[in-house]
Amino acid sequence: MISRSSKLIGISCCRKLFGVFGMVNHAASDTYIRAVDLVVGGMPLLIPANGDRAHIDTLLERLDGLILTGSRSNVAAVFYGGPPQPPEDAPEDPERDLVTLPLVRGAIERGLPVLAICRGLQELNVALGGTLHQRLQDLPGKIDHSTPMQPHAPVRTGKAHHVVLRSGGRLAQIVKSESLSVNSLHNQGIDRLAPGLLVEARATDGTIEAVTGTAAGYLVGVQWHPEYDFEHDAASRRIFESFGAAVDKTS
């Protein structure tokens, strides 16, 4: 474990039902905490999905970096002008959106390093004015990017398809490659790219798989989940290492 305990790394939570009585909890996967502990350094700080009750300015004053996590839930359609989504097919978490959308905008304004993962990439795009496809698998010519319903975790989170990175781009420099095999656990994807974002990678079907910010500062979003395999996959580890280096540089 590396030691940068003075750094606070915000990790976005979701509202999820737990236990026999289905009580609402605020949760983030242990994989993000492990990535911060083992690679990024600093103290993981779980950010509750408490909607418009969140103290965004307080968080921005104290955080040294922000990780927007993946989730089964989708970004609520109301925030990007999309059609209503059937709740049984595509659960939404608007209480999370009410926290993360202004939080990521504020983080970018302040120059805080931001790493956006899966749902986090979609939030980033919506926060900056972009739109989303709600179900990529329903679109002509698109492969099925959704989570394999497979209880065996190594299969469920294993490599699913290839992505091609922008030649000489920032992400290609970070991972030291211009092509990757990645996992795939999402239904939504970027439709209209938001201003201020640059495409860094695409899947073979043209789906945007990674972006960076066009302004100064560290802003990286990936559609896959590097937190699942950073302990044995060099490219995934390099993504978290680059985020940690940015936190050290800007704090």
Which positions are annotated as active-site residues?
Answer: 118, 225, 227
| Ramachandran category for residue 141: left, alpha or beta (phi over 0 → left; psi -120 to 50 → alpha) | left
Cα 18 from Cα 217, distance rounded (Å): 37
Beta bridge partners of 220: 115, 212
CA-nearest of 151, 158, 142 to 191 is 142
Query: Distance of CA 43 to CAs 2, 4, 66, 67, 113, Å?
Result: 11, 8, 12, 12, 15
Contacts of 33 (CB under 8 A, 6+ apart): 11, 44
203 and 143 Cβ atoms separated by less than 8 Å: yes
- Map residue 241 onto helix, strand or coil: helix
- Map residue 138 onto helix, strand or coil: helix
85 and 92 Cβ atoms separated by less than 8 Å: yes
| Ramachandran category for residue 41: left, alpha or beta (phi over 0 → left; psi -120 to 50 → alpha) | left
